[in-house]
Amino acid sequence: MDYKKTLNLPRTKFPMKANLAQREPRQLAEWEKMGLYERLRRESAGRRRFILHDGPPYANGHIHMGTALNKILKDFIVRSRQMAGFDAPYVPGWDCHGLPIEHNVEKELGRRKQTMGQAEIRRECRKYAEKFIDIQRNEFKRLGVLGDWDNPYLTMSYRYEATIARECCSFAMDGSLYRSKKPIHWCCSCQTALAEAEIEYADETSPSIFVEFEVVDDLGGVNPALAGQKAAVVIWTTTPWTLPANLAVALHPDFVYAAVDVGREHLLILAKELVEQCMATFGYEKYSLVCEFGAAELEKKNCRHPLYDRNSLIILAEHVTLDTGTGCVHTAPGHGREDYEVGLRYGLDVYAPVDQQGRFTEEVGHFAGQMVFEANAAINARLKELGVLLAEEKIEHSYPHCWRCKRPVIFRATSQWFISMEKNGLRKKALEAIDRVSWIPAWGRERIYGMIENRPDWCVSRQRAWGVPITVFTCAGCGALVIDRQVVKRIYELFLQNGADVWFEKDTRELIPEGLSCPECGGSRLQKETDILDVWFDSGVSHAAVLEARDDLRWPADLYLEGSDQHRGWFHSSLLTAVGTRGQAPYKAVLTHGFVVDAEGKKMSKSLGNVVAPKEVINRYGAEILRLWVSASDYRDDIRISDNILRQLVDAYRRIRNTCRFMLGNLNDFDPRSDCVDYGKMEDIDRFALHRLRQLMEKADRAYENFEFHVIHHSLHNFCAVDLSAFYLDVLKDRLYTSAPRSQARRSAQTAIYHILDTLARLMAPILVFTAEEIWRYMPDDGRKEASVHLAGMPPARPDWTDDELARRWEAILEIRSLVTKALEQARADKLIGHSLDAGVTVGVDKQRFELLEPYAGQLRSIFIVSQAELVRGPVEDALVNHEDRVYVGVRPAEGEKCQRCWVHDPTVGADGSHPGICSRCIGQLAEAESR
């Protein structure tokens, strides 16, 4: 007789091979069809909300691993909060305006651009953004990210644009918005401002000159040796044309400076360390150091400008170096970024007497009208004539050029709009707001605090086409800013109807409310501003445009979650716009993740060739593996990805999947409605399994709460591999397979398995969205089974499953079991046995263990998966294992024949004439099976 047919072997259609890349798209289509997201919203209406506000990715290009990481993490959080009992909507968004899109559109248009108006270019940009929103939306959905994909927020939607304008006006209304000059990259031939991204660096030969700046003040106070002495500070520059705009000379506060006697009527002052080198350059063979002093001694002393009748102030600045030059830096706040910054600190004018075409204005006297680069020679000649030019050389260095015309660009101060950090106490309020936010990890607080503390006023204007205009008017007469409540309201409504395009399409008269005039001079000739806003302002007001505006959301958000670069970006701009207009941060907590790096921890770059694209991983392994990768990593640091790492995750995935598959196979004939065994009547080991399960639940619960997904991954995997596969399920096979199908012993095991599987499916659902659903579909229905695991909740707490006393006993058993397996392995190596069922073991233990194990003596053979197990007190003869003289394990070949049915060796095999090949236990179980 073939006894195999009398066994209850696992049976399931749940496939062993996941085939994720093929299966996932079908599953996604099913969720879409059943309207999973909408259904979740309906079913959780009225629950406590959890709002994770999505930071908008830029609508350009395909998603990369970093964006995938970010969206998957958000999905973990939204889904786990949802399952924990919240109403957790997820509204994704896109950042649509800005230079990169405009830039790409310009490239695509090529020459055609010349013939197009701004409105037309804006239309092209809009189309471009729409195209990539569609692409990215599909890519995000493919990752299994659940959200309101049909109603995302777009920073270019009319409503959003109207909000941007309104929020900008809000800063204008309270006086925070002001106009001032600031140097920016400027292309003289294209006559346009350039962003950093539009600059190409190339080698360029420039003049390199050393110029004396005569010191006006007496330096006797600095050092007695200088009393009554004439002296000149020596500066070095590669842009002689910026000298007419010189307002200061900067020294480094930490450097030592020296006064050098070169045999002329005045001393030369420069950094001590550079004296020797400079003297060689100037051609002075004989010279002597008169004295030396710290830079601070010279601070706020005055020099005379070599060309003009005005002073140049000596100031201190950290950006001064000893690499080249003299350690004394010519400073023109209108023509240099650092010059500008330090100039602000000393209250210097942002002076730039250069027009749009790069020509000197009338103010500079006899260089007026000259192109600045061409004026270099004339300026040098003039300096030489005045006897202040110490040396003139040529230097080859990297210099910024225009990406379009390839000509060298200049730094030129132009009129820009700023939001003041001080005027209305924005900095102070923002710093206070930071401390009311929970930063995860905690160092996020230091990071953003330092940035807010030190940042200059926010320059919000850009001279570009694709964006939202700074919707203010200025008086043509007096230049005053003209804005009032009526203006704000009218612009908001116009934008709501027509988008920001209306600002460019209509002229000023059509935009302003009737009768508006300048509050300063009463003039009625007004001009609309044509600069657009920094895109960081766009996304920065998403809290107003999205959280406040949508009924399904709420202000402030519970959480913002982005990469750690956003302390400078979106967290920062959102904080400023929210604090500036509403007095507090738009988020209660901010969570940051690191960057995706390669196997060596290096950043991904095309040139290194170490870029891993999400699409490749999805096609090869499935989005589920990508999600598992995110869950396995501690994302607070940078996280590594490589083929090796992914292969490891595929293995981990297989282990989880197969363990669940095995459990499904054993629930094949189990109906939870009728077959569940009461907890109190369950076998000890089954209750121990539930105890362990409860520990896992609690751990996972805490981990989800704290967004520590890697803890869940490791616990889940460990539970499947160690607690279940290697121990519990392995031990259970005998009972599940050989017991009568409906016996209480078997139902007890099935009850435990059922609870375990139900719990695991729910616990893994936020992470392994596809697999959890697949398991769920195959699970027996208890009559309350939701249509999708994602409509189900987290497993309810089961304090009744905790039994510490029981656990203590079983942990002791497990300790003995590991000693038994060691002994069995030894016996196997000695060719005494093959399968563990070929063996009988004798376990000798001390008194304490004996008392603990004695009640389980009858079960030991099944726990150890051997044919016979004997428990004795004290040492065992010929023990293969002797553990600290407390536990002995002896192994011998099992007695009796191997039962054809249960494979256990037993002396009773052959005793029954009708079933000569099987043991008495099996005969009993067969009889029981038939009687039911």
Q: Among residues 9 and 280, whose Cβ is nearest to RNA?
A: 9
Helices (H) and strands (E) in the chain, counts: 30, 33
Q: Shortest approach of RNA to residue 23 CB, angstroms?
A: 16
For residue 896, what are its two tokens?
A: 């009796």
Strand ranges (DSSP E) for 216-318? 230-237, 248-251, 256-261, 266-271, 288-294, 302-304, 311-316
Q: Among residues 166 and 567, whose Cβ is nearest to RNA?
A: 567
Q: Among residues 662 and 776, whose Cβ is nearest to RNA?
A: 662
Q: Among residues 536 and 555, whose Cβ is nearest to RNA?
A: 536
Rounded to a whole number of angstroms, the distance between the first and last alpha carbons of the chain is 21
Q: Among residues 366 and 603, whose Cβ is nearest to RNA?
A: 603
Q: Among residues 474 and 668, whose Cβ is nearest to RNA?
A: 668
Q: Among residues 551 and 885, whose Cβ is nearest to RNA?
A: 885
Q: Among residues 637 and 684, whose Cβ is nearest to RNA?
A: 637
**Percentage helix, strand, coil for the chain under 3-state DSSP, each rounded to 5:** 45, 20, 35
- Neighbouring residues of 805: CB distance < 8 A, sequence distance ≥ 6: none
Can you spell out the DSSP letters for 376-413?
HHHHHHHHHHTT-EEEEEEEEEEEEEETTT--B-EEEE
Q: Among residues 714 and 886, whose Cβ is nearest to RNA?
A: 714
Burial state string for 28-46 with b = 16 or more CB within 10 A and e = fewer than 16: beebeeeebbebbbeebee
Q: Shortest approach of RNA to residue 66 CB, angstroms?
A: 9
Q: Please give the backbone phi and psi of residue 233, each rounded to the nearest 5 degrees, phi first.
A: -85, 135
Query: What distance in Å separates the CA atoms of residue 421 and residue 418, rounded to the nearest whole number?
Result: 9
Q: Among residues 320 and 502, whose Cβ is nearest to RNA?
A: 320
- Using left for φ > 0, alpha for ψ between -120 and 50, and beta otherwise, residue 425 falls in left
Q: Among residues 481 and 919, whose Cβ is nearest to RNA?
A: 919
Query: What distance in Å separates the CA atoms of residue 369 and residue 378, rounded to the nearest whole number?
Result: 12
**3-state SS track over 114-168:** HHCCHHHHHHHHHHHHHHHHHHHHHHHHHCCCCCCCCCCEECCCHHHHHHHHHHH
Q: Shortest approach of RNA to residue 642 CB, angstroms?
A: 7
Q: Which of 759, 734, 763, 768 lies closest to 749, judged by CA?
A: 734
Q: Shortest approach of RNA to residue 432 CB, angstroms?
A: 19
Q: Shortest approach of RNA to residue 612 CB, angstroms?
A: 13
Q: Shortest approach of RNA to residue 567 CB, angstroms?
A: 7
Cross-strand bridge partners of residue 94: 154
Strand ranges (DSSP E) for 403-469? 410-419, 438-440, 458-459, 461-462
Q: Shortest approach of RNA to residue 697 CB, angstroms?
A: 18
Q: Shortest approach of RNA to residue 763 CB, angstroms?
A: 17
Q: Shortest approach of RNA to residue 601 CB, angstroms?
A: 4
Q: Among residues 53 and 567, whose Cβ is nearest to RNA?
A: 567
For residue 61, what are its two tokens?
A: 């290009």
Query: What distance in Å separates the CA atoms of residue 20 and residue 27, rounded to the nearest whole number?
Result: 10
Q: Among residues 386 and 722, whose Cβ is nearest to RNA?
A: 722
Q: Among residues 392 and 637, whose Cβ is nearest to RNA?
A: 637
**Size of the chain, expressed as the number of residues it contains:** 932
Q: Give the side-chain half-sphere CA count within 13 A for 800.
A: 5
Q: Shortest approach of RNA to residue 45 CB, angstroms?
A: 36
- Neighbouring residues of 213: CB distance < 8 A, sequence distance ≥ 6: 232, 233, 234, 235, 249, 303, 304, 305, 306, 312, 328, 388
Q: Among residues 131 and 647, whose Cβ is nearest to RNA?
A: 647
For residue 800, what are its two tokens?
A: 């009744």
Q: Shortest approach of RNA to residue 683 CB, angstroms?
A: 18
Query: What distance in Å separates the CA atoms of residue 376 and residue 781, rounded to the nearest whole number?
Result: 86
Q: Which of 60, 93, 74 lies closest to 159, judged by CA?
A: 93
Q: Shortest approach of RNA to residue 485 CB, angstroms?
A: 35
The Cβ of residue 50 has, within 10 Å, a number of other Cβ atoms equal to 21
Query: What distance in Å separates the CA atoms of residue 210 and residue 270, rounded to the nearest whole number?
Result: 11
Q: Please give the backbone phi and psi of residue 676, each rounded to the nearest 5 degrees, phi first.
A: -65, 140
To which residue do tokens 């690499």 refer?
323
Q: Shortest approach of RNA to residue 443 CB, angstroms?
A: 4
Contacts 24+ apart (CB under 8 A), 711-714: 712/631, 712/763, 712/767, 713/628, 713/631, 713/632, 713/652, 713/767, 714/632
Query: What distance in Å separates the CA atoms of residue 247 and residue 376, rounded to the nearest whole number?
Result: 18
Q: Shortest approach of RNA to residue 654 CB, angstroms?
A: 6
- Neighbouring residues of 804: CB distance < 8 A, sequence distance ≥ 6: none
Q: Shortest approach of RNA to residue 351 CB, angstroms?
A: 20
Q: Shortest approach of RNA to residue 272 CB, angstroms?
A: 19
Q: Among residues 120 and 897, whose Cβ is nearest to RNA?
A: 897
Burial state string for 747-766 with b = 16 or more CB within 10 A and e = fewer than 16: bbbbbbbbbbbbbbbbbbbb
Q: Among residues 567 and 692, whose Cβ is nearest to RNA?
A: 567
Sign of the alpha-carbon torsion through 826, 831, 832, 834: positive
Q: Shortest approach of RNA to residue 540 CB, angstroms?
A: 14
Can you spell out the DSSP letters for 690-750?
HHHHHHHHHHHHHHHHTT-HHHHHHHHHHIIIIIIIIIIHHHHHHHHHHS-TT-HHHHHHH
Q: Among residues 446 and 782, whose Cβ is nearest to RNA?
A: 446
Q: Shortest approach of RNA to residue 558 CB, angstroms?
A: 23
Query: Going by DSSP bridges, is the β-strand pair 256-261/266-271 parallel, antiparallel, or unpaired?
Result: antiparallel
